[in-house]
């Protein structure tokens, strides 16, 4: 018995010393948003998304490569009688070493897959599904960047469907020239108790673009031009084969002294994408964003965007303002 007690005491002391060799981290992220969407002219859904998200989290930096983080992402939409409309757990493990970055758990999508084109993953996900729940691997060096992820969006129960998103994106850049690609697939299966005449769905899309980044070759702060192709693929199993509409895309983005213009043009066949922007159901679509970043200070940034959607012979409009604040701190747990 004494030997067991001594061994237990030794193990606890070792664990205690290991904890004190770590670094305690804290993070507070604030995201305020006002997004007014006037889509009635094209008979699409008009709405106003107005509220905020607050994400406090704490964690341990175990060493230079391993990190564990725990927190909560709380959303409040203004006008709601409850403060919290939705709370999402933030809990993940991160491995970061040299060119490799690996996440597992429930972690923020911002900065990892938030650059996907709206045609493939619509920007409403940034408001209502801020986390990826699954795994992500990223490799990045001076010229290459590649991301692969799986996001489990619904666990199967007797009444709830099973679905998940698998996707990847990448970019190769050499001097001013670059090639980028994005792809995702939504697998939508049925609940545990089968629904009559219900079928498994596969719904996804891919986009490949080539372009030039002239940011350092003009008087502008940034300037990129690219063009490429987009294809979606959809099937309802046991009902029919794959549907694969295609089209061409042209993208222009520039910024000067915090003012910017972004234009995205699509021409081709209409798409039915469950997770994508509904404007791409049309054969011709052009979106123009006029942006201004009036607030840029340390960890604080505000951005105003006026968007015009040219589709189906009409013009829809959108006005959005977003404010992000990110506060980070750490403290060593080593004994002095």
Measured CA to CA, the distance from residue 217 to residue 214 in angstroms comes to: 5
Q: Which of 150, 188, 171, 197 is nearest to 273 (CA)?
A: 188
Q: Which of 83, 93, 94 is nearest to 53 (CA)?
A: 83
Asked whether the predicted pLDDT for residue 298 surpasses 80, the reply is: yes
Residue range 2-9: mean pLDDT, rounded? 46
Asked whether the predicted pLDDT for residue 6 surpasses 80, the reply is: no
pLDDT of residue 13: 44
Confidence of residue 335 (pLDDT cuts 50, 70, 90): low
pLDDT of residue 140: 96
pLDDT tens per residue across span 58-102:
999 998 899 999 999 999 999 988 877 788 999 999 999 999 999
pLDDT of residue 315: 98
pLDDT of residue 9: 39
Q: Which value, to the nearest 10 degrees, does the dihedral of the CA atoms of residues 57, 60, 64, 66 take?
A: -90
pLDDT of residue 332: 81
Residue range 160-178: mean pLDDT, rounded? 94
Structural domain boundaries enclosing 17? 2-332
pLDDT of residue 216: 86
Asked whether the predicted pLDDT for residue 151 surpasses 90, the reply is: yes
pLDDT of residue 16: 42
pLDDT of residue 107: 96
pLDDT of residue 334: 67
Name the one residue in this structure whose structure tokens are 């996907």.
116
pLDDT tens per residue across span 282-291:
999 999 999 9
The tally of domains found in the chain comes to 1
Asked whether the predicted pLDDT for residue 14 surpasses 50, the reply is: no
Take residue 47 and report the two structure tokens written for it: 């709405």
pLDDT tens per residue across span 190-226:
888 888 888 889 999 999 999 999 998 899 999 999 9
DSSP character string of 88-142: EEEEEEEEEETTEEEEEEEEE-TTTTTTS-TTTS-TTHHHH--EEEEEEEEEE-S
Asked whether the predicted pLDDT for residue 44 surpasses 50, the reply is: yes
pLDDT of residue 20: 52
Asked whether the predicted pLDDT for residue 12 surpasses 90, the reply is: no
Measured CA to CA, the distance from residue 198 to residue 151 in angstroms comes to: 23
Confidence of residue 10 (pLDDT cuts 50, 70, 90): very low
Asked whether the predicted pLDDT for residue 161 surpasses 50, the reply is: yes
Q: What is the CATH number of the domain that holds 143?
A: 2.40.160
The number of angstroms, rounded, from the C-alpha of 112 to the middle of its chain's C-alpha atoms is 6
pLDDT tens per residue across span 97-137:
999 999 999 999 999 999 999 999 999 999 999 999 999 99
**How high is the mean pLDDT of the chain?**
91
% of the chain beyond a pLDDT of 70: 93
Instruction: Please state the φ and ψ torsions of residue 136, each to the nearest 5 degrees.
Output: -150, 140
DSSP element (H, E) containing 60: strand 47-61
Confidence of residue 21 (pLDDT cuts 50, 70, 90): low
Considering only residues 238 and 299, tell me which one the structure prediction assigns the higher pLDDT: 299
């Amino acid at each position: 018995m004494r030997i067991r007690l001594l061994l237990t005491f030794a193990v606890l002391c070792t664990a205690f010393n290991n904890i004190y060799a770590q670094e305690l981290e804290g993070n507070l992220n604030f995201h305020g948003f006002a997004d007014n969407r006037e889509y009635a002219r094209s008979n699409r859904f008009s709405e106003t998304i107005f509220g905020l998200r607050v994400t406090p989290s704490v964690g341990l930096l175990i060493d230079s490569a391993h990190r564990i983080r725990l927190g909560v992402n709380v959303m409040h939409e203004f006008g709601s009688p409850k403060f919290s409309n939705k709370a999402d757990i933030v809990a993940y493990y991160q491995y970061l070493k040299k060119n490799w970055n690996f996440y597992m758990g429930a972690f923020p999508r911002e900065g990892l897959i938030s650059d996907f084109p709206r045609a493939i993953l619509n920007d409403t996900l940034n408001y209502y599904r801020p986390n990826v729940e699954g795994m992500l691997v990223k490799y990045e060096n001076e010229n290459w960047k590649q991301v692969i992820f799986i996001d489990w969006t619904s666990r199967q129960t007797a009444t709830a469907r099973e679905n998940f998103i698998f996707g990847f994106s990448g970019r190769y850049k050499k001097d001013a020239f670059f090639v980028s690609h994005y792809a995702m697939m939504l697998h939508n299966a049925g609940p545990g108790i089968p629904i009559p005449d219900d079928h498994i769905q596969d719904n996804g899309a891919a986009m490949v673009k080539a372009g030039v980044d002239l940011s350092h070759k003009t008087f502008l702060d940034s300037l990129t031009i690219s063009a490429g192709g987009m294809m979606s693929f959809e099937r309802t199993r046991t009902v029919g084969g794959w549907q694969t509409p295609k089209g061409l895309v042209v993208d222009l983005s520039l910024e000067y002294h915090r003012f910017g213009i972004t234009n995205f043009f699509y021409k081709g066949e209409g798409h039915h994408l469950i997770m994508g922007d509904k404007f791409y159901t049309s054969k011709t679509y052009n979106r123009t964003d006029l942006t201004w970043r009036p607030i840029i200070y340390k960890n604080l940034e505000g951005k105003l965007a006026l968007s015009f959607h040219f589709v189906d012979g009409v013009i829809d409009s959108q006005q959005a303002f977003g404010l992000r604040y990110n506060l980070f701190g750490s403290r060593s747990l080593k004994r002095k």
